[in-house]
Amino acid sequence: DGGITQSPKYLFRKEGQNVTLSCEQNLNHDAMYWYRQDPGQGLRLIYYSQIVNDFQKGDIAEGYSVSREKKESFPLTVTSAQKNPTAFYLCASSGTEYEQYFGPGTRLTVT
């Protein structure tokens, strides 16, 4: 079945450590996205990529980094510079239509 996978579902890290969240899609979509979700705040765009080897900052890119070396993969690194990294992270992709398809999410807890 085509879809988006994110791993792991739950992730725990100590403050000061970088952590990388995985996102893989087999939908043959060109565009991929990373969102952060906090209670009561909806979704906020962190980074997006329209094609391989290219990506753009979203609304809250500070403290995050991404790469897009393959069409299928768009990993997100949460760096130690991110002041409040505990959140639910969602990856999405889109093809020729504007709707985005989402993965199951990764809940990151930093203590």
Partner 1 sequence: GNSVTQMEGPVTLSEEAFLTINCTYTATGYPSLFWYVQYPGEGLQLLLKATKADDKGSNKGFEATYRKETTSFHLEKGSVQVSDSAVYFCALSKSGAGSYQLTFGKGTKLSVIP
Task: Return d(Cα 99, Cα 82) in angstroms, integer.
Answer: 29
Phi, psi of 64 (to 5 degrees): -125, 155
Which string of x and - marks every residue 29-58 that binds partner 1 (by CB under 8 A)?
A: --x-x------xxxx-x--x-x-------x
Determine how many CB atoms are found less than 10 A away from the CB of residue 71.
17
Site membership for partner 1, residue 99 (CB under 8 A): yes
The answer to whether 2 contacts partner 1 (rule: CB under 8 A) is no
| Nearest distance in Å: CB 32, partner 1 | 10
Neighbours of 109 (CB within 10 A): 11
User: Considering the rule CB under 8 A, would residue 60 count as an interface residue with partner 1?
Assistant: no
Cβ-based nearer residue to partner 1, 15 or 99: 99
CA angle 2, 60, 25 (to 5 degrees): 10
Residue 101 is a binding residue for partner 1 (CB under 8 A): yes
**Are the C-beta atoms of residues 102 and 91 closer than 8 Å to each other?**
yes
**What are the residues binding partner 1 (CB under 8 A)?**
4, 6, 31, 33, 40-43, 45, 48, 50, 58, 90, 92, 94, 98-105
